C-alpha cells in the first residue's frame, strides 16, 4: 500500500472518532466545497472590508514590516509572496508538487487519525500554507499568513507545514478570521512545525472568529537539538467553540518550547485551549504560560509538561480572571515526570480583580471602568522574549481593540 493510500485509510477509519476534548461538532452540517476565488496581484486588491478585517488579526495588506505574505480565502490560496531571500511561502499544494521530499513531513507531527477533525483535514483537504526558512536564513521581519473564512457553512480544512531549517530564524504571524457577515462555519487547521537543529521560530496566531463559528486547530511540532520554538496564541473575540491542544515535542538536547496564550471569553463562547510539551532529551526547557479572562464565557485552560528524560526543566502557569457574575474558568495544569532529576513546576490562580487594585488606580483619577480595563490589559500584557517588537505590538493591539478591555 502506498503511503498516501495508507494515510487515507487511517483517516477513513477516524471519520467518526470524537476528539478527546471539547464538544463534538457535527461535521455533516458543513460543506467542504467553495467556489474558487481568483488570485490577486497584491493584498491591496482584496475587497477593502476583508483587508480591514484582516488587519485586526495582524495581517497588513500594505505588507509594511513583513517579509512575506500568504492569503487563503475559503479554499483558495489567492496570494503568496516572499521578499526574504531563502524563505519560501507557497500554497501547500504547490509545495507538494514541487518537493517530493515534503511527503516525509506530511502528517509527521500530527497523527492523521487523531480524531474526526484531522481525518476531515486529510479527506476534505482545502489547501494551506508551506513556509520554509532555508538553512542559515535569518529574517527578523515576520511572514504573515491569513486564513479567511467568508462562505456560509464552509468547513475550511487546511493543512500547513512550517520548516525552519538548521540554524535559521523565522517569525510568522497568522491571522485567522471570518468575514463579519458570516454566521455559521468551521475552521479545521492542521499545522505541523519542524524546527531543525539550532533554529529559532516564533509563531504568533491571532484568532477572530464569529459567535457561531467552531474552530478545531490541530498542531504538532518537532523541535530538534539547540532549537527554540515560541508559540503565541491570542483569541479575544467571541467564538462558539474553540478546542485545541497543540503538542510540542522537544526531541533534541537543549531544545526549548515556549507557549503563551491569551484568552478572553464573553457569554456564549466556549474555549478549551491547552498546550503540551514533551521533553525527550537532556537540557530541554519549556514554559507554558496562559492568561484567561471570562466575561460570561467558559474557558478550560489546560497545560501538560511531560518529562521523558533526565535533566529537563519546565514551568506551567495558568492565571484566570473572572469578570462579572457569570462565566467559568477551569484550569487543568498537569506535570508528568517519568524519570528522576527533572525540574518541573506549576502555578495556577483563578479569581476576580482585587477591589484594592481598582480603588488604588481610582485614587490617581481613573474611573472604576477605566481602572478595571487597565488591570485587565495589564493582566494580558505578558512579556515574551525572542519575539520581534512588531509582533509584540500586534498582540498588544489585539488586546487594546477588544471591547470590554481596550479604551
351 lines the binding site for other proteins (CB under 8 A): no
Q: How many CB atoms lie within 10 A of CB 22?
A: 22
Cell reading at 324:
462579572
C-alpha 214/C-alpha 184 separation (Å) is 8
282 lines the binding site for other proteins (CB under 8 A): no
- The CA–CA distances, whole Å, from 121 to 5, 94, 320, 375 equal 15, 17, 32, 40
C-alpha 319/C-alpha 317 separation (Å) is 6
CB of 362 to other proteins, least distance (A): 4
C-alpha 20/C-alpha 18 separation (Å) is 7
Place of cell 477588544: 402
Cell reading at 361:
488606580
Place of cell 530541554: 284
- Using the contact rule CB under 8 A, the part of the chain among 124-132, 186-194, 207-215, 352-360 near other proteins is 352-360
264 lines the binding site for other proteins (CB under 8 A): no
CB of 354 to other proteins, least distance (A): 6
Binding-site member from 3, 326, 354, 403 for other proteins (CB under 8 A): 354
Between 355 and 374, how does the x/- string for binding to other proteins read (CB under 8 A)? xxx-xxxxxxxxxx--x--x
381 lines the binding site for other proteins (CB under 8 A): yes
CB of 293 to other proteins, least distance (A): 12
C-alpha 154/C-alpha 215 separation (Å) is 12
CB of 355 to other proteins, least distance (A): 8
Q: Which is nearer to other proteins, 29 or 367 (CB)?
A: 367
Q: How many residues bind other proteins (CB under 8 A)?
A: 23
Cell reading at 223:
523541535
- Using the contact rule CB under 8 A, the part of the chain among 185-193, 203-211, 215-223, 378-386 near other proteins is 378-386
CB of 396 to other proteins, least distance (A): 11
CB of 367 to other proteins, least distance (A): 5
Q: Which is nearer to other proteins, 112 or 380 (CB)?
A: 380
398 lines the binding site for other proteins (CB under 8 A): no
315 lines the binding site for other proteins (CB under 8 A): no
C-alpha 244/C-alpha 314 separation (Å) is 21
Q: Which is nearer to other proteins, 141 or 350 (CB)?
A: 350
Binding-site member from 375, 387, 390, 405 for other proteins (CB under 8 A): 375
CB of 138 to other proteins, least distance (A): 28
Eight-state DSSP code of residue 240: S
Q: Which is nearer to other proteins, 125 or 379 (CB)?
A: 379
379 lines the binding site for other proteins (CB under 8 A): yes
C-alpha 227/C-alpha 126 separation (Å) is 31
**Residue 386 backbone zone (phi > 0: left; psi -120 to 50: alpha; other: beta):** left
Binding-site member from 377, 397, 404, 406 for other proteins (CB under 8 A): 377
Q: Which is nearer to other proteins, 27 or 398 (CB)?
A: 398
CB within 8 Å of 114: residues ≥ 6 apart: 14, 17, 19, 218
Continuous H helices in 297-367: 355-362
Q: Which is nearer to other proteins, 145 or 375 (CB)?
A: 375
What b-and-e string marks burial along 184-217, b requiring 16 or more CB atoms within 10 Å of the CB? ebbbbbbbbbbbbbbbbbbbbbbbbbbeebbbbb
CB of 229 to other proteins, least distance (A): 25
Q: Which is nearer to other proteins, 47 or 378 (CB)?
A: 378
CB of 389 to other proteins, least distance (A): 14
345 lines the binding site for other proteins (CB under 8 A): no
140 lines the binding site for other proteins (CB under 8 A): no
Q: Which is nearer to other proteins, 345 or 367 (CB)?
A: 367
253 lines the binding site for other proteins (CB under 8 A): no
318 lines the binding site for other proteins (CB under 8 A): no
Cell reading at 321:
480572571
Measured in whole angstroms, how far is the alpha carbon of residue 386 from the centre of its chain?
A: 17
C-alpha 404/C-alpha 407 separation (Å) is 8
C-alpha 398/C-alpha 265 separation (Å) is 14
Q: Binding residues for other proteins, per CB under 8 A? A: 354-357, 359-368, 371, 374-375, 377-382
Amino acid at each position: 500500500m502506498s503511503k498516501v493510500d495508507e494515510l487515507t485509510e487511517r483517516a477513513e477509519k477516524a471519520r467518526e472518532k470524537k476528539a478527546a476534548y471539547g464538544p463534538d461538532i457535527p461535521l455533516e452540517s458543513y460543506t467542504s466545497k467553495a467556489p474558487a476565488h481568483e488570485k490577486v496581484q497584491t493584498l491591496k486588491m482584496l475587497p477593502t472590508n476583508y483587508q480591514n478585517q484582516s488587519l485586526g488579526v495582524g495581517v497588513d495588506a500594505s505588507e509594511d514590516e513583513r517579509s512575506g505574505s500568504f492569503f487563503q480565502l475559503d479554499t483558495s490560496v489567492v496570494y503568496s509572496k516572499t521578499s526574504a531571500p531563502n524563505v519560501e511561502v507557497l500554497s501547500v499544494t504547490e509545495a507538494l508538487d514541487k518537493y517530493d521530499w515534503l511527503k516525509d513531513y506530511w502528517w509527521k507531527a500530527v497523527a492523521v487519525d487523531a480524531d474526526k477533525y484531522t481525518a476531515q483535514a486529510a479527506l476534505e483537504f482545502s489547501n494551506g500554507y508551506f513556509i520554509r526558512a532555508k538553512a542559515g536564513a535569518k529574517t527578523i521581519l515576520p511572514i504573515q499568513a491569513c486564513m479567511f473564512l467568508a462562505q456560509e457553512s464552509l468547513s475550511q480544512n487546511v493543512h500547513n507545514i512550517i520548516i525552519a531549517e538548521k540554524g535559521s530564524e523565522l517569525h510568522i504571524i497568522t491571522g485567522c478570521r471570518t468575514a463579519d457577515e458570516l454566521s455559521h462555519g468551521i475552521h479545521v487547521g492542521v499545522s505541523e512545525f519542524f524546527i531543525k537543529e539550532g533554529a529559532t521560530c516564533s509563531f504568533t496566531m491571532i484568532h477572530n472568529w464569529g459567535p457561531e463559528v467552531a474552530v478545531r486547530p490541530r498542531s504538532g511540532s518537532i523541535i530538534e537539538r539547540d532549537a527554540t520554538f515560541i508559540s503565541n496564541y491570542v483569541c479575544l473575540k467571541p467564538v462558539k467553540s474553540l478546542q485545541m491542544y497543540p503538542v510540542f515535542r522537544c526531541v533534541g538536547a537543549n531544545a526549548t518550547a515556549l507557549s503563551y496564550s491569551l484568552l478572553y471569553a464573553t457569554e456564549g463562547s466556549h474555549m478549551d485551549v491547552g498546550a503540551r510539551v514533551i521533553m525527550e532529551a537532556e537540557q530541554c526547557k519549556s514554559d507554558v504560560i496562559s492568561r484567561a479572562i471570562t466575561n460570561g464565557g467558559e474557558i478550560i485552560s489546560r497545560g501538560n509538561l511531560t518529562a521523558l528524560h533526565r535533566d529537563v526543566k519546565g514551568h506551567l502557569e495558568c492565571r484566570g480572571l473572572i469578570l462579572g457574575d457569570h462565566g467559568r474558568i477551569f484550569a487543568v495544569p498537569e506535570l508528568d515526570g517519568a524519570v528522576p532529576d527533572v525540574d518541573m513546576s506549576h502555578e495556577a490562580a483563578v479569581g476576580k480583580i482585587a477591589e484594592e487594585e481598582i480603588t488604588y488606580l481610582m485614587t490617581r483619577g481613573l474611573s472604576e471602568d477605566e481602572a478595571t480595563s487597565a488591570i485587565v490589559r495589564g493582566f494580558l500584557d505578558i512579556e515574551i522574549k525572542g519575539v520581534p517588537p512588531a509582533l509584540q505590538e500586534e498582540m498588544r493591539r489585539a488586546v487594546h481593540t477588544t471591547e470590554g478591555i481596550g479604551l
